[in-house]
A = this chain, B = another copy of it.
């Protein structure tokens, strides 16, 4: 049996720590783990399966003899280093937005489009956290009943912006409760011109804005959905629009999704039946017993929780639905490791003769 040398790029971040944990629990036969980070963290140690591993600085050379790279150190780092890793024979699963829209790079949610992995040319992209959980919930519906339109409003947790951002939100909350003034320095977007407190507030900005008023996060959801479900980020057959809002939650993105199927006779019961057996989905829809998805109960779980399914009685075939998943697991680390597991299972951990080098 082949064993793999796996490198985790960005091992010290909020997603990085979960990548380590998810890899520990995965089915991948791991020969060796390399933990990579910036120069600043090099030399420190982190545990993998109880063994202390010294963090190495991420340089092109460090990928020699690596089979698989799990990357989550930001788009700029991926753009610079993943082609170097591919050149050296490593297959990369990238959790940043660096290559998601490249036609040569499969964008994969294993429950939805695992087959796209067979086309990889060295890099596979992990979709955006808010896209992934929506895909897991909607794909079984699309397959059975057809999908014409998706209108989504997100309620995205602070941890989606990273550990420092999350810490800031919690420290703002402390200030507020102590009667002190809150002062945002990171949210809504690190590096943007203005900053606002997130604690006890709502920020309708995730990532920077395009000229048309949509945020990058909103366009990511639109284009990624089209690419994952239809293979083309611009395919107009399935219409998608999104509003992305940051909320003062620690872990777990919520999504209020309105969707129009092509089956005007479709009932809530048939939808529930379908979701009950859908891969990666936990149907949590029992209003009579107040059972519905919540961030606090989804935290730490790999599944996507779906509930509050309701028919739009004035528009047969259209429905409302509420989705929650752990944005650091299915939205990031678990989906990345799950892709790696599928690459291993399908013997796809080989860089092809014509690799994609960015």
Contact = CB atoms under 8 A, between A and B. Distances in A.
A204 interface: yes
Given A204-B322, A294-B203, A209 B287 contact: yes
A205 B285 CA distance: 12
A313 B193 CA distance: 28
A324 B203 CA distance: 11
Given A151-B151, A290-B194, A322 B248 contact: no
A177 B173 contact: yes
A33 interface: no
Interface string A307-319: 1111111110000
Interface in A211-245: 212-215, 218, 236, 239-241, 243, 245
A151 B293 CA distance: 21
Contact of A196 (B149, B196, B296, B314): B296
Contacts of A292: 204-205
A345 to B, nearest CB: 35
A97 interface: no
A160 interface: no
Interface stretch (A46-54, A101-109, A249-257, A350-358): A249-257
Nearest to A310: B213
A307 B247 CA distance: 17
A153 interface: yes
Interface in A263-278: 268
Contacts of A308: 204, 213, 243
A4 interface: no
Interface residues of A, number: 64
Q: Copy number in this complex?
A: 2
Nearest to A209: B287
A294 B209 CA distance: 17
Given A243-B320, A245-B256, A314 B250 contact: no
A307 to B, nearest CB: 7
A192 B290 contact: yes
Nearest to A319: B241
B247 A155 contact: yes
A245 B254 contact: yes
Contacts of A241: 258, 310, 312, 314-315, 320
A140 interface: no
B202 A294 contact: yes
A16 interface: no
B322 A243 contact: yes
6 contacts: A155-B202, A173-B173, A197-B296, A200-B250, A201-B249, A239-B315
Leading 3 A-B pairs by shortest Cβ distance: A153-B256, A209-B287, A153-B153
